[in-house]
Chains A and B, each alone.
Chain A
Amino acid sequence: MSVLLKLTNVAVYVGDTCLLEPISLELKQGEPLTILGQTGSGKSLLAQAIMGLLSDDLSMAGDVEVFGKVMSIDERRALWGKEMVMLPQEPWHSLDPLMKGVDQVKEVYQFVREKSAQESLSIAEDDLRRVGLEDSGHKRPDELSGGMAQRLAITAATAGGAHVILADEPTKGLDVSRRDGIVQLLQARSNLGSLLTITHDVAVARQLGGLLLVMKEGCLVEQGEAVQVLDYPKDDYTRELIAAEPSAWSDMAPTSRQDGAESILVADKLTLERGGRILFDGLSFTIKQGEVVGIVGDSGCGKSSLGDALLNLLPISAGSILRSNKTAKPHQWLKLYQDPPSAFSSSVSLGQLLEDLILLHGIDKARIEPLMDRLSLPHGILERNCLAVSGGELQRFAILRALLLDPVFLFADEPTSRLDPITAKEVTALLVELACEAGCAVLLVSHDAALVQKTCHQVISI
């Protein structure tokens, strides 16, 4: 097996601060290499350093050897497209928003492979057919779904015939079903050369196989055959990462729930439309006091809309929603948002926001302290505003704020999808545990069926 890409002590600095500790690795033909680690662990910098795409304020040390020859940044740039390519992390942003999909593939054949315009177009159309986009070639990127855009981007990137393919979080933001398709496509595209993938997703690493490197905060903690590392992890951090996968969670749904609990909400034959499209119809279910109810389904199927409809934030087209708990006030029906920072005003500190709430509803201040401890929220957090706090802390603060209002129903809209897996697990567990203690029903929406399975008493599939 020939070595396509060899890194020797590659490190990335901003000024004197090291963002990526020196790392050495070899990418061999036919043997995919995967780097696994959480966001912010410096993985993306590595891919950019290899390509020669680091921004001007960053500097790189070490050698990058391509096809057995140490190359400067300019030499590596000359290889772009034909020999070496990097797949984009966010396909929507990486595709020209004003150009038809097929033209974005065609131009590679035309300008990189130097074929005639007509021939390029027909090859591009063939390519799109192979990835199931034959009907979407004339669409602009904003008319494509995330999975389609990623397939288009992969097709465009690999049209130049590159042997070394770097993929930086290629499955970010995709549903599980779409994710597997992308992984297969990547494998197919790289069988002539080799593939270096960077991901935070243990399942993706498992599917890709080959060699695996686990990174934590810019340092390499463990490496070896993917199967070996994932099944018999040696390092604590690797273990933690694997355990944070929802499929590896232990059952969280509290069993202490009484069967005789009152129902607080009855939905009967619900139909919901958005933009003239029927999302679902004839949906009936009952939610009981203190129950954790999960909703699963692919993105765009109306999971979040259902939750919003139950909270009267969206109108329903047909059917009825009956709130059978008459004593609860409107502010006891609440929502947790997907993107924690967007749910807070950044104009004042979190403490001030809490103060506002206490003043409005006359809440006993003594309740805050123990709750903060339960949620392991540091006290200093109250002096900062929402942009200066990590996503995990902020989501826990959102739970705190909701619990202070003694909610009877909490709609949690993908509350952990923007958090890294380890934090996501902690936050989910806390949410379920505390809500149940408070006798509050939770409607948990997630694109991850495994997560819902492990946490909910009742699952609604759309």
Chain B
Amino acid sequence: MKMTHSQWLGLSVLLGLLAFSLFGILFSPYSLSEQNLDAILQAPSASHWLGTDHFGRSMLTRMAHAVGLSFALSLLCMLTSSLVGTAFGVWAVWGGKKVDNILGIVVNILLALPGLVVVLLFAAIAPGSFLVLYLAISLVQWVEYFRVVRAVTQGVIQSPARQSSQMMGFGRWYQFKRHIWPAISPSVFTLAAFGGANAILTMASLGFVYVGIQPPLAELGLMTVELFPYYSDAPWLLAQPLIVIALMVFSFHLLAGKRA
């Protein structure tokens, strides 16, 4: 697959953030919750490269953990929902009318509630649980893959090219590899990039309304609320999670390419 300049840019920014997160977690001398009440709300300095928050905790360490958490969640959700959605999407077309109808009903049920509300309800059951957050977001996201993959696959199944391969005696795996996958892969890739952005957004949104990841862990949405009261004393602190969220989402959108 050929990538455009803006897709490369998006990928590089994401890789850069990932590297920042890994180095921050591995090499920062401060721990995530190590407080120092003598040095609160400090500006970036040689000992605290990104400053300290209202408890005197290292912002660099906290940002690195928060970014890492966002990446972990978005990659997990992306992987799970794309695999599940693609597999079910192809199965719905290939498995016959019955399978298609049943999957159609399941999807219809999932689409009856806005995604964020579903995630909120799950989050209410187990507040602060990364696992539940991951399951809920994946549950919401696979539907999109399913719908797109199913629609595209339907076209491919009826295409002369696929029909001709079948008549010549090729099996299902071959038909998938040569006909279905080339047709759906661009859409799956685009959806995955958007899905990654949405997972990050959803987790930050939950953190922002205080029902997501719980303190003292660092999470971008949560940090935004925590640092909001100090916007005039230490604007550089509030700016950090805001900029990083926007940067991550923007890069995922760039990576997704031109469409949507």
Contact = CB atoms under 8 A, between A and B. Distances in A.
Interface of A: 311, 313, 329-331, 333-335, 337, 339, 342-348, 353, 356-357, 360-361, 401, 405
Contacts of B167: 311, 330-331, 333-335
B160 interface: yes
A360 B170 contact: yes
Nearest to A341: B161
Given A335-B164, A339-B160, A356-B174, A345 B179 contact: yes
Contact of B168 (A311, A313, A346, A405): A405
A290 B103 CA distance: 47
B216 interface: no
Interface string B166-209: 01111000100011011000000000000000000000000000
Contact of A348 (B164, B168, B170, B178): B178
Given A331-B168, A342-B161, 19 more contacts: A311-B167, A329-B169, A330-B167, A330-B169, A331-B167, A335-B160, A337-B164, A339-B160, A343-B161, A344-B161, A345-B178, A347-B178, A347-B179, A347-B181, A353-B178, A356-B178, A357-B168, A360-B168, A405-B168
B178 A313 contact: no
A399 to B, nearest CB: 13
B163 interface: yes
B157 to A, nearest CB: 12
A343 B182 CA distance: 15
Interface residues of B, number: 15
B159 interface: yes
B169 A345 contact: no
Chain A residues touching B, majority SS? mixed
Contacts of A348: 178
Nearest to B165: A345
Contacts of B170: 356, 360
A339 B159 CA distance: 11
Contacts of B179: 345, 347
B169 A360 contact: yes
A347 B181 CA distance: 9
Nearest to B156: A345
A333 B181 CA distance: 26
Contacts of B178: 345, 347-348, 353, 356
Nearest to B179: A345
A401 B174 CA distance: 17
B169 A342 contact: no
B28 to A, nearest CB: 46
A347 B160 CA distance: 15
A313 B163 contact: yes
A337 B168 contact: no
B124 to A, nearest CB: 46
B168 A343 contact: no
A103 B3 CA distance: 46
